[in-house]
């Protein structure tokens, strides 16, 4: 017998839990943007109380009970959207209840100290200072993975991947990463050997932050980011937070002497933001069908707008006349070709977050292998620098000079974030594979972009990706849209098609 009231109670509990999550997210956003420094201690207390309340809501036994009752109601499970929602609510509830709260608390405590040690170790460029803390973190992370349990047909590390990329398996990822790594390393080698140098001087002319901000806002509006349902602010580390229905916040940072940092940062976060604004939150707030699939799919949206749109020749064809007026400076004499070349250089460098579109993926694959080795036990923490440095040189052809520019550069591990890195490259791969399909569906896309007509692209993403929420898994969505499993080919076609002519190879 159908029990609509049971389902409604379930929806209302989920919605309440999502609302608590929104509050927590706003506290975080404010901490990064406008909170005065002396408010830090009180803010930590506020965040901790809200985290506790959120966790309590997510593990409320009534929630588990209501999910069970709905799962056994054929009137509900016959609806494919409700069925998918129930499947995802079950997943969330099981994940949340599987971790003992002492483990969560200990991980939070150790991570908060480890972050301090990591900062000092990085400043001193001394991995040995950080190693004992990373050992503790890894032991706790492994315990976490054991609580989740090795997924069927997978390895222990997959339990960690699964948090960020549901149902992903490292063996599948490896099967895509391996050809990508070989072809990318080859391409990078050819570029390094090429005589043609691409100038980036045009990017380093001084442009004041307020002009950059106005231009960024203009581009956001033109691309369809709804500024009545979102905003753009400044933080040290740019991010996007779809913190509540109708409230999606982007941040960027301005460097007077390199305006493309902020511009591409803004486009990147806007890609995330368009996804958040495209989710059916107004009707289904609190339900998985109004939430994003995975970090990889989220990243595919940000990379698409940043790299496939923003670094294209057509983007600059449209943007340059406006940039001349709004940015001034060197823009007044820049050409489309100059800008297109300057924003598409590919050069090996040490720091992941400063890497270009091509070499970036090699940074990721290095981390993926190291993490996998750490969790399987094939690699010990103290052996990280050696493994890092030798693999880095093999992949990127340059020698890591010190730990600061090597294995100490990322904050992730000190937070206990293991299994996260792979999603960055998955995002690039999904973006490329979707992009080929989009160009089949919208035949004149390039010409449209060149005249600033971004609406068909946004509408396509809304319809084929955003509207589904968590109804499909990432790999299912990929097959559904492109007819194929994820592959390295589209991304390599994209990079080679752009970089070979640019470097005359």
Contact footprint for its own copies (CB under 8 A): 15-16, 19-20, 22-23, 26-27, 30, 34-43, 45-46, 49-50, 53, 226-231, 233, 244-248, 285
Q: Please identify, using beta-carbon distances, which residue of 151 and 246 lies nearer to its own copies.
A: 246
Structure tokens, 106: 């200990």
For residue 10, the minimal CB distance to its own copies (Å) is 17
Nearest in space to 431 (alpha carbons), one of 368, 367, 474, 468: 474
CA 115 from centroid of its chain's CA atoms: 21
Min dist. Cβ of residue 228 to its own copies (A): 5
Judged by CB, which is closer to its own copies: 18, or 334? 18
As annotated, the active-site residues are: 269
Task: In angstroms, give the least distance from the CB of 302 to its own copies.
Answer: 20
**Whole-Å CA distances, 194 to 161, 184, 492:** 38, 15, 19
Give the shortest CB-184-to-its own copies separation in angstroms.
40
Q: Which is nearer to its own copies, 1 or 41 (CB)?
A: 41
In the three-class reduction of DSSP (H, G, I as helix; E, B as strand; rest coil), residue 248 is classed as strand
Identify whether the C-beta of residue 314 lies closer than 8 Å to the C-beta of residue 449. Answer: yes
Tell me the C-alpha distance between 90 and 224, whole Å.
34
C-alpha span between 100 and 103 (Å, rounded)? 5
329 alpha carbon, distance to own chain's centre: 33
Residue with Cβ nearer its own copies (27 or 358) = 27
Nearest distance in Å: CB 298, its own copies? 20
* CB of 235 or CB of 391, closer to its own copies: 235
Mapping DSSP to helix (H, G, I), strand (E, B) and coil, where does residue 293 land? coil
Instruction: Tell me the C-alpha to C-alpha distance, in Å, between residue 387 and each of 37, 99, 183, 358.
Output: 39, 31, 21, 22
Measured distance CA(141)–CA(157) in Å, rounded: 10
CB of 283 to its own copies, least distance (A): 12
What span, in angstroms and rounded, lies between the C-alpha atoms of 61 and 498? Answer: 54
- Between 251 and 345, whose beta carbon lies closer to its own copies? 251
- Pick between residue 270 and residue 492 the one whose CB is nearest to its own copies: 270
Nearest approach in angstroms of CB 412 to its own copies is: 28
DSSP secondary structure, 423-440, as one string: HHHHHHHHHHHHHHHHHH
DSSP 380-442: -GGGHHHHHHHHHHHHHSS----STTTTTS-SHHHHT--S-THHHHHHHHHHHHHHHHHHHHS
Please give the helix or strand (H or E) that residue 234 lies within, else none. strand 230-234
Nearer to its own copies, 22 or 423 (CB): 22
In the bound state with its own copies, the residue whose beta carbon lies nearer, of 20 and 67, is 20
- Are the C-beta atoms of residues 18 and 282 closer than 8 Å to each other? no
For the four alpha carbons of 47, 53, 59 and 63, in that order, the dihedral sign comes to negative
Beta bridge partners of 247: 244
Q: How far apart are the first and last CA of the chain?
A: 68
CB–CB of 112/106 below 8 Å? no
Kindly state the smallest distance separating residue 340's Cβ from its own copies, in Å. 33
Helix ranges (DSSP H) in 288-359? 295-303, 313-327, 336-342
The answer for residues whose C-beta is within 8 angstroms of residue 44's C-beta and 6 or more apart is none
As a whole number of Å, the CA-based R_g of the chain is 23
Name the minimum Å distance from CB 463 to its own copies: 21
> In the bound complex, what is the minimum distance in angstroms from residue 39's beta carbon to its own copies?
3
Q: Is the dihedral of CA 138, 144, 149, 151 positive or negative?
A: negative
CA distance 494 to 492: 5
CA distance 7 to 11: 6
Residue placing its CB nearer to its own copies in the complex, 244 or 481: 244
Question: How far is it, in rounded angstroms, from Cα 378 to Cα 373?
Answer: 5
């Amino acid at each position: 017998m159908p029990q609509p009231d049971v389902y409604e109670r379930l929806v209302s509990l989920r919605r309440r839990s999502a609302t608590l999550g929104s509050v927590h997210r706003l506290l975080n956003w404010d901490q990064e943007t406008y909170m005065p420094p002396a408010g830090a201690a009180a803010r930590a207390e506020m965040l901790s109380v809200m985290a506790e309340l959120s966790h309590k809501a997510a593990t409320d036994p009534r929630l588990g009970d209501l999910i069970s009752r709905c799962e056994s109601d054929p009137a509900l499970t016959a609806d494919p959207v409700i069925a998918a929602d129930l499947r995802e609510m079950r997943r969330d509830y099981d994940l949340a209840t599987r971790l003992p709260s002492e483990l969560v608390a200990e991980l939070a405590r150790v991570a908060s100290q480890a972050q301090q040690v990591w900062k000092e170790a990085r400043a001193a460029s001394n991995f040995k200072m950080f190693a004992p803390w990373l050992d503790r973190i890894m032991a706790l992370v492994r315990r976490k993975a054991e609580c989740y349990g090795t997924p069927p047909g997978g390895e222990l590390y997959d339990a960690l991947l699964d948090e960020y990329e549901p149902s992903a398996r490292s063996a599948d990822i490896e099967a895509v990463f391996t050809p990508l790594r070989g072809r990318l390393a080859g391409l990078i080698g050819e570029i390094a050997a090429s005589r043609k140098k691409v100038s980036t001087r045009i990017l380093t002319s001084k442009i004041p932050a307020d002009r950059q901000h106005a231009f960024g806002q203009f581009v956001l509006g033109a691309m369809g980011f709804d500024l009545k349902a979102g905003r753009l602010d400044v933080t040290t580390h740019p991010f996007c937070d779809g913190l509540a229905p109708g409230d999606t916040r982007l941040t960027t940072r301005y460097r007077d002497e390199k305006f493309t940092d902020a511009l591409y940062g803004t486009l990147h976060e806007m890609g995330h933001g368009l996804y958040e604004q495209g989710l059916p939150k107004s009707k289904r707030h609190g339900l998985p069908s109004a939430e994003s699939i995975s970090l990889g799919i989220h990243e595919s949206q940000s990379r698409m707008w940043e790299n496939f749109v923003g670094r294209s020749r057509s983007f600059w064809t449209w943007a340059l006349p406006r940039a001349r007026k709004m940015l001034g400076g060197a823009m007044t004499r820049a050409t489309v070709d100059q800008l297109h070349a300057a924003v598409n250089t590919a050069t090996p460098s040490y720091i992941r977050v400063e890497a270009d579109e091509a070499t970036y993926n090699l940074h990721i694959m290095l981390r993926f292998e190291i993490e996998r080795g750490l969790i399987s036990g094939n690699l010990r923490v103290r052996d990280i620098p050696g493994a890092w440095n030798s693999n880095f040189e093999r992949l990127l052809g340059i020698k890591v000079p010190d730990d600061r520019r090597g294995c100490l550069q990322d904050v992730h591990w000190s937070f206990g974030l293991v299994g996260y890195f792979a999603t960055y490259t998955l995002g690039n791969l999904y973006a490329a594979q979707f992009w080929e399909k989009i160009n089949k569906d919208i035949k004149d896309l390039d010409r449209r972009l060149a005249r600033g007509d971004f609406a068909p692209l946004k509408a396509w993403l809304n319809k084929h990706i955003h509207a589904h929420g968590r109804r499909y898994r990432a790999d299912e969505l990929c097959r559904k849209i492109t007819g194929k499993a994820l592959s390295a080919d589209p991304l390599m076609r994209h990079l080679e098609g752009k970089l070979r002519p640019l470097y005359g190879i």
